[in-house]
Chain A
Amino acid sequence: EAGVVQSPRYKIIEKKQPVAFWCNPISGHNTLYWYLQNLGQGPELLIRYENEEAVDDSQLPKDRFSAERLKGVDSTLKIQPAELGDSAVYLCASSYSWTSGYNEQFFGPGTRLTVL
């Protein structure tokens, strides 16, 4: 079974440029998560999707970040414009429906973003 796929693995951009990250979850997983992981820190949830619906985006900085999950499968996270402080690893994870209580989240390899 294929795991969570993310691309690109690495991205280097100039500040004020836009950037997008793509995630393909494990087949059959209804729930998709985007986490932000700063260097040496634990991941922090940015947004959680249940199928196509963003059910928790309270931690997403909506002035510059946006996300979408078309058809309830793949998802894209966008930053526009990027700032120096956005340099981090962006992790995508997926799981079966969170309403089951215990929901093991499977993580992708992440996208390491460097903003110059």
Chain B
Amino acid sequence: AQTVTQSQPEMSVQEAETVTLSCTYDTSENNYYLFWYKQPPSRQMILVIRQEAYKQQNATENRFSVNFQKAAKSFSLKISDSQLGDTAMYFCAFSGGTSYGKLTFGQGTILTVHP
């Protein structure tokens, strides 16, 4: 079974600064996908960024980028130029192998961006 661990229950950052959210996972699969989802206080979960395990290049989406370390089973999210609208709960998630049909989520990190 796959597990996803987010060790930072809460993080805070000043507007315009950079913050990194951590995620580790455990799997015996070789092919899988990793995701970061954002859940604002309104509760609609939104995909922020995804990484395919067979790709060595780290994914980027505008201000969001990941540091994917496959050997270390680490998948961190970096948010640059933080904005007030980035305030949300962030979930790291895994999909792959026998669990391709579902997402396994971490416990989440509450990120607060301060003006």
Chain A residues in the interface with B (C-beta under 8 A):
3, 31, 33, 40-45, 48, 50, 55-56, 89, 91, 93, 98-99, 101-110, 112
B56 proximal to A (CB < 8 A): no
B15 proximal to A (CB < 8 A): no
Most A-side CB within 10 Å, residue of B93, B100, B106: B100
B103 near A45 with CB under 8 A, answer yes
B105 near A42 with CB under 8 A, answer yes
B45 near A101 with CB under 8 A, answer no
Q: Which residue of B lies closest to A109 (CB)?
A: B44
B102 near A102 with CB under 8 A, answer no
In order of increasing CB-CB distance, the 9 nearest A-B pairs are: A42-B105, A107-B45, A98-B101, A45-B102, A109-B44, A110-B43, A42-B91, A42-B108, A48-B101
Cα distance A34–B93 in the bound complex, in angstroms: 16
Q: Which residue of B lies closest to A4 (CB)?
A: B44
Contact residues of B between 77 and 93, Cβ < 8 Å to A: 91, 93
Number of A-B contacts (CB under 8 A): 58
Q: Beta-carbon contacts of B96-110 to A below 8 Å, as 1s and 0s?
A: 000011110111100
A59 to chain B, nearest CB (A): 9
A43 near B47 with CB under 8 A, answer no
B2 proximal to A (CB < 8 A): no
Task: Give how many B residues have a beta carbon under 8 Å from the other chain's beta carbons.
Answer: 22
13 CB contacts below 8 A, A to B, read A33-B102, A40-B107, A42-B106, A48-B102, A50-B101, A91-B45, A99-B100, A101-B33, A102-B50, A103-B95, A105-B47, A107-B45, A107-B46
Contacts of B106 in A (CB 8 A): 42
Contacts of A55 in B (CB 8 A): 101
A37 to chain B, nearest CB (A): 9
